[in-house]
Structure 1
């Protein structure tokens, strides 16, 4: 299952709720303000284990728009819109955490 998170973890608990609900086959895609959690900050530690497993993605365009390209944590994979579509096709079901 693909889980999208579009809110900053400084603003809402969407990421934490998502992390509490996902299973071992799920992946997370950070979009919109959710990409702020991809930057090296106190909230990125929540994603470290999943990122190491290759299960965390961030939308490149949103990362660029927020000026955090150089701050993205290790192992978080950046995808463009085509990559977003590929993830939706691969995982079939998408859950949006807002």
Structure 2
């Protein structure tokens, strides 16, 4: 049974992203949204952890939340894809369960 993991807390203020990546399994997806999008930034202290997890997990970033924080696609790890609200819905439909990490 696959899980959509929703991470909405900034990795600079919460261990939610690290806990999520450690527990997510094969076939799961991770969507970084709200302040969780900061975990997708290239060159930050979480970059290596997120990039390594992206080799086994489908990690996406919610584009409207990036835009709301003034972040550009060029600021992101290259292995991560941006999705809009339609992509969010598609992920939710594709996975049987969802789990929010705060």
TM-score norm. by structure 1 comes to 0.93
Q: Which runs of 4+ in 1 moved over 6 A?
A: none
Change (3 A) 1:17 1:53: closer
- The counterpart of 1:82, out of the listed 60, 76, 86, is 86
Deviation of 1:49 (Å): 2.1
Aligned to 1:93: 97
Go from structure 1 to structure 2 and tell me whether the alpha carbon gap of 1:62 and 1:46 turns closer, same or farther (over 3 Å shift). Answer: same
C-alpha distance in structure 1 between counterparts of 2:94 and 2:64, whole Å: 21
SS of equivalent residue, structure 2 residue 9: coil
3-state SS, counterpart of residue 54 of structure 2: helix
- Please state whether the residue corresponding to 1:85 is helix, strand or coil: helix
User: In the alignment, what sits opposite 1:36?
Assistant: 38
Please say which of residues 28-37 and 53-62 is displaced more in the overlay: 53-62
Query: Number of paired residues?
Result: 98
**Structure 1, unaligned stretches of length 5 or more?**
none
* TM superposition shift of 1:27: 1.2
SS in 2 for 1:75: coil
2:76 paired residue number: 72
Answer 1 or 2: which has greater helix percent: 1
How much is the aligned-residue C-alpha RMSD, in angstroms?
1.2
The normalised TM-score by structure 2 is 0.89
